[in-house]
């Protein structure tokens, strides 16, 4: 007997969901998202957006995002799943209880992050008004091919700005710092963010012997990029940069060392400084 097409689609959706769950429990960071989203699309196509099957996949997807620290996406998934589960299973079902617990944990974590961000903004404002950062943040102009200056950034504390016009594809400044081998990356990453990969084995810690390039802020829509050549790293302009414009790089942090939230404000902001 032939299987009806809808039954086949449903079986595919279940297979995708189960594969995603297996990848998730194996700790794979990337594949589960695609698999869950494909399963979700098929289930929505068969059952509509408010079916228990849809809620189950949303619930798993929420947990996946939560584990990766992608909290806003986790919240959206849980918030969509919750009313469906409550309606379909009843408000006293233990699955609803589990979802509420996960959502509560997530909201606490989000609240902590908001508090921490607020504190950082106020600390930066105090630092800016004291003018003390001018002594700490210095550009070694001899390592730069164009005039640069430090100024207050709209993205994060202070940043590096073009003091004159910079053409496209111009080598602006060399990124210097202490060479650190792979063995010591992880502990340094925990406390500092001035790290730039040189190759698979070495990276440069710009907090020690930095040229000032380490002060360039991250943005998901950068106007500069790193150029690695012969064991050295330069910051190169992606397009012509006007005087007074802030230099911006896409840091593309590795996910293994933790998720770092991004507030660059660019229209295509990924939400994190990590690579997708």
Q: How far is the CB of 243 from Zn ion (least distance, A)?
A: 24
Q: Which is nearer to Zn ion, 143 or 238 (CB)?
A: 238
Q: Which is nearer to Zn ion, 85 or 264 (CB)?
A: 264
Residue 16 φ then ψ, to 5°: -65, -45
Question: At its nearest, how many Å lie between Zn ion and the CB of residue 217?
Answer: 10
Report the site for Zn ion in 203-222 (rule: CB under 5 A): 220
Q: Which is nearer to Zn ion, 60 or 272 (CB)?
A: 272
Question: Does residue 248 belong to the site contacting Zn ion (CB under 5 A)?
Answer: no
Q: Determine the interface stretch with Zn ion among 51-59, 81-89, 97-105, 264-272 (rule: CB under 5 A).
A: 264-272
Q: Does residue number 264 form part of the binding site for Zn ion (CB under 5 A)?
A: yes
Would you say 15 or 275 has its CB closer to Zn ion?
275
Q: Which three-class secondary structure state does DSSP give residue 257?
A: helix
Looking up tokens 């595919």 gives 12
Report the DSSP beta bridge partners of residue 41. none
Distances from the Cα of 260 to the Cα of 65, 81, 109, 218, 257, angstroms: 14, 26, 14, 11, 9
Which residue, 10 or 253, is less far from Zn ion as judged by CB? 253
Q: Which listed residue (55, 74, 162, 262) binds Zn ion by CB under 5 A?
A: 262
Label residues 95-104 b or e (16+ Cβ within 10 Å = b): bbeebeebbe
Q: How far apart are CA 222 and CA 242, in angstroms?
A: 14
The footprint of Zn ion on this chain (CB under 5 A) covers a number of residues equal to 4
Task: Copy the structure tokens of residue 37.
Answer: 């989203």
Sites of contact with Zn ion (CB under 5 A): 220, 262, 264, 269
């Amino acid at each position: 007997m032939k299987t009806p097409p809808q039954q086949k689609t449903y079986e595919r959706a279940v297979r995708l969901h189960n594969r995603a769950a297996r990848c998730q429990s194996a700790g794979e960071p990337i594949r589960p998202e695609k698999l869950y989203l494909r399963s979700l699309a098929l289930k929505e196509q068969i059952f509509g957006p408010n079916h228990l099957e849809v809620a189950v996949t949303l619930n798993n997807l929420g947990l996946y995002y939560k584990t990766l620290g992608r909290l806003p996406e986790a919240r959206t998934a849980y918030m969509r799943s919750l009313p469906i589960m409550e309606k379909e299973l009843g408000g006293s079902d233990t699955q609803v209880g589990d979802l509420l617990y996960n959502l509560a944990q997530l909201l606490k974590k989000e609240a902590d992050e908001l508090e921490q961000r607020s504190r950082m903004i106020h600390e930066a404002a105090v630092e800016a008004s004291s003018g003390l950062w001018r002594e700490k943040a210095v550009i070694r102009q001899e390592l730069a091919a164009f005039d640069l200056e430090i100024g207050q950034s709209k993205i994060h504390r202070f940043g590096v700005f073009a003091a004159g016009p910079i053409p496209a594809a111009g080598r602006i400044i060399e990124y210097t710092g202490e060479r650190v081998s792979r063995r010591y990356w992880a502990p340094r990453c925990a406390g500092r963010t001035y790290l730039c990969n040189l190759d698979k084995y070495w990276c440069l810690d710009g907090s020690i012997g930095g040229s000032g390039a380490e002060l360039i802020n991250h943005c998901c829509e950068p106007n500069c990029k790193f150029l690695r050549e012969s064991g050295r790293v330069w910051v190169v302009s992606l397009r012509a940069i006007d005087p007074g414009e802030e230099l911006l790089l896409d840091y593309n942090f590795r996910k293994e060392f933790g998720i770092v939230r991004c507030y660059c404000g660019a229209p295509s902001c990924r939400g994190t400084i990590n690579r997708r």
